[in-house]
Amino acid sequence: MTRRPMEILDQVLNRQPVIVSLKGNREIRGILQGYDVHMNLVLDRAEEMVEGAMQKRGTLIVRGDNVIYISPLVG
Amino acid sequence: MTRRPMEILDQVLNRQPVIVSLKGNREIRGILQGYDVHMNLVLDRAEEMVEGAMQKRGTLIVRGDNVIYISPLVG
Amino acid sequence: MTRRPMEILDQVLNRQPVIVSLKGNREIRGILQGYDVHMNLVLDRAEEMVEGAMQKRGTLIVRGDNVIYISPLVG
Amino acid sequence: MTRRPMEILDQVLNRQPVIVSLKGNREIRGILQGYDVHMNLVLDRAEEMVEGAMQKRGTLIVRGDNVIYISPLVG
Amino acid sequence: MTRRPMEILDQVLNRQPVIVSLKGNREIRGILQGYDVHMNLVLDRAEEMVEGAMQKRGTLIVRGDNVIYISPLVG
Amino acid sequence: MTRRPMEILDQVLNRQPVIVSLKGNREIRGILQGYDVHMNLVLDRAEEMVEGAMQKRGTLIVRGDNVIYISPLVG
Amino acid sequence: MTRRPMEILDQVLNRQPVIVSLKGNREIRGILQGYDVHMNLVLDRAEEMVEGAMQKRGTLIVRGDNVIYISPLVG
Q: What is the pLDDT of residue A75?
A: 55
Q: How large a percentage of chain A has pLDDT more than 70? A: 99
Which residues from chain G sit within 8 angstroms of residue F23, using beta carbons? 24, 66
**Are the beta carbons of E65 and C65 separated by less than 8 Å?**
yes
Report the run of H or E that residue E41 belongs to, with start and end.
strand E41-50
| Inter-chain residue contact B34 with C3, CB threshold 8 Å | yes
For residue B43, give its domain range. Answer: 5-70
F8 pLDDT tier (thresholds 50, 70, 90): very high
Q: What is the pLDDT of residue B1?
A: 74
Which residue numbers in chain C have pLDDT < 50?
none
E33 CB within 8 Å of a chain G CB: yes
Q: Can you give the pTM of this predicted structure?
A: 0.94
Please tell me if residue A36 touches chain D, with a CB cutoff of 8 Å.
Answer: no
C64 chain-B contacts, CB cut-off 8 A:
63
For residue A75, being part of any structural domain is answered with: no
Q: Is residue E75 part of a domain?
A: no
pLDDT at B75 over 90: no
pLDDT tens readout for residues G13-26: 999 999 999 999 99
In which band, very low, low, confident or very high, does the pLDDT at G2 lie, cut at 50, 70 and 90?
Answer: confident
The answer to whether residues D39 and D67 touch, using CB atoms and an 8 Å cutoff, is yes
pLDDT of residue C2: 86
Do the domain assignments include residue F73? no
Q: How many CB pairs under 8 A join C and E?
A: 60
The pLDDT of residue E75 is above 60: no
Give the best residue of C12, C41, C61, C66 to mutate against chain E (max E CB count within 10 A).
C61
- CATH no. for residue F35? 2.30.30.100
Chain G: residue whose CA lies nearest to E45: G71
Domains: count for chain E? 1
Alpha carbon distance G19, A45 (integer Å): 54
Query: Side chain identity at A38, as an amino acid letter?
Result: H
End-to-end CA distance of chain F: give it in Å, rounded: 21
Q: Which residues from chain C sit within 8 angstroms of residue B40, using beta carbons?
A: 5, 39
CB-facing half-sphere around the CA of G14: CA atoms within 13 A: 5
Q: Is F64 exposed, middle or buried (0-12, 13-18, 19+ CB in 10 A)?
A: middle
Q: Give me the phi and psi of F39, to 5 degrees please.
A: 70, 20
CB contact under 8 A, B5 and A58: no
Give the nearest partner residue to E59 out of G64, G65, G71, using CB atoms.
Answer: G71
Closest-CA distance of chain G to residue F58, Å:
23
Q: Is D29 on the interface with A (CB under 8 A)?
A: no
Q: In sequence order, what are the beta bridge partners of C56?
A: C47
Q: Does B8 or C75 have the greater pLDDT score?
A: B8
Q: What angle do CA D10, D15, D18 make, to 5 degrees?
A: 80
G55 occurs within a structural domain:
yes
Considering only CB atoms, which chain F residues are within 8 Å of G26? 68
User: What would the pLDDT profile of A22-33 be if each residue is shown by its tens digit?
Assistant: 999 999 999 999
Nearest to F52 by CA among F23, F20, F25: F25
pLDDT band for F75, please (50, 70, 90 cuts). low
Q: What is the pLDDT of residue A1?
A: 74
From the number of C-beta atoms within 10 Å of its C-beta (0-12, 13-18, 19+), residue A69 rates as buried
DSSP lists the bridge partners of residue B72 as B18
Task: Say how many residues make up chain A.
Answer: 75
Residue G72 lies inside a defined structural domain of this protein: no
C18 within domain boundaries: yes
Subunit contact C66:E71, Cβ cutoff 8 A: no
Are D36 and A74 within 8 A, CB to CB? no
**What rounded mean pLDDT belongs to chain A?**
94
Question: What digits encode the pLDDT tens for the residues A10-66?
Answer: 999 999 899 999 999 999 999 999 999 999 999 999 999 988 899 999 999 999 999
**Beta-carbon separation of C59 and E72 below 8 A:** yes
- Give dist(CA B62, CA A21) in Å, integer: 24
User: How far E45 CA lies from chain C's nearest CA (Å)?
Assistant: 21
Question: Does residue F72 fall inside a structural domain?
Answer: no
Mutate to test the interface with F, among D63, D68, D70, D73 (most CBs of F within 10 A): D68
Dump pLDDT digits (tens) for G41-73: 999 999 999 888 999 999 999 999 999 999 999
Determine, yes or no, domain membership for C75: no
The answer to whether G26 contacts chain E (CB < 8 Å) is no
